[in-house]
Amino acid sequence: MSTQMLFLVFGFAVDACLFVLSTYTRKLARTRNILEHYEISISNLMEANLRLQNSIVTEITQATNNERKRIAQDLHDIIGHSMVNIMMITDSIKDRLDDRDGIKAYCDVIHQQASGALSETENSMRTLRKQYDKRNYNSVAIKKLTSIFEKATGVEVLLEFRNAPTTFGEKIDRIVYRCIQEGLTNAFRHGRANRITILYWKHETGEMEITIKDNGKGVKNLNEGIGIWGMRERLSGIGGSITVNPSEFGFSLTLTFPFCTASDQEVVSDDRVGYC
């Protein structure tokens, strides 16, 4: 009888333990689901914040450029109108005077000076407008990009240009900028990284190498998406390539492309830098 009671009590105890364990397991699963939901929500908010930061910078830059163009146009109109008036007045004075004391010669000099000033003003204003219409993607823009990314996501970004030049030329700068932008986004969105390293290095062979490495969750088998395809396509247009190195302890990709300056080989670019 005592043995049966012992087994009965033991059975009740086991059932109670299983019930408690099952209850805690369900609670743990619910807690895990809630945490995953919060993590996804935070990730979405940070992505939205990053897009907002980029949008604000773009709008501020555009507004600044528009204001500068307006000022340039105003200066052109004011100075141009004044110079034309001076030229017309000197011509009128010249027509009303005889050539006593060489006054007509002085009028000619004034006319020439005003005409030259008008021409220089037009050239300067044209150059000014052209400069503000062009967006830079050089190393300064890369620094601004990574700074905004850090503030928007909280992800630390280590950026080292090492022996790289300030600019690769307009075409290559734009390609590098877009590739780094895509690399940062992927490291944050897919890798959930909290630290990203971007390293530039120019080899003696003339080949430029840029590595983007993160400490995210990594991946064993990578299925390349449209982002990496886009990088590969951009780089192929300048004779470059991309190497992807997925692992269980992070993710890295390396951009390589041939590059030379005016002091190297023959250069293919209007601004004296480009790919050889």
**Residue for token pair 């060489």:** 102
How far apart CA 200 and CA 108 sit, in angstroms, is 59
Using alpha carbons, select from 202, 206, 138 the residue that is nearest to residue 167.
138
How far apart CA 134 and CA 129 sit, in angstroms, is 9
Q: What is the DSSP string of 106-143?
A: HHHHHHHHHHHHHHHHHHHHHHHHHHHHSPP-SHHHHH
Most confidently modeled range among 29-38, 81-90, 153-162: 153-162
**End-to-end CA distance of the chain, in Å?**
96
Reported as a single tens digit per residue, the pLDDT across 129-147 is: 655 555 678 999 899 889 8
Instruction: Answer whether residue 270 shows pLDDT above 60.
Output: no
What global pTM score does this model have? 0.57
The reported pLDDT for the residue numbered 69 is 72
Most confidently modeled range among 41-50, 86-95, 169-178: 169-178
Contact 217, 192 (CB under 8 A): yes
The reported pLDDT for the residue numbered 200 is 96
The reported pLDDT for the residue numbered 161 is 93
| pLDDT category of residue 202 using cuts at 50, 70 and 90 | very high
| pLDDT category of residue 1 using cuts at 50, 70 and 90 | low
The reported pLDDT for the residue numbered 41 is 63
The reported pLDDT for the residue numbered 53 is 66
Average pLDDT, the chain: 77
Burial-class residue 194 by CB neighbours within 10 Å (0-12, 13-18, 19+). middle
More reliable by pLDDT, 17 or 160: 160
Overall size of the chain counted in residues: 276
Residues facing residue 160 across a β-bridge: 199
Q: Across residues 14-42, what is the average pLDDT?
A: 72
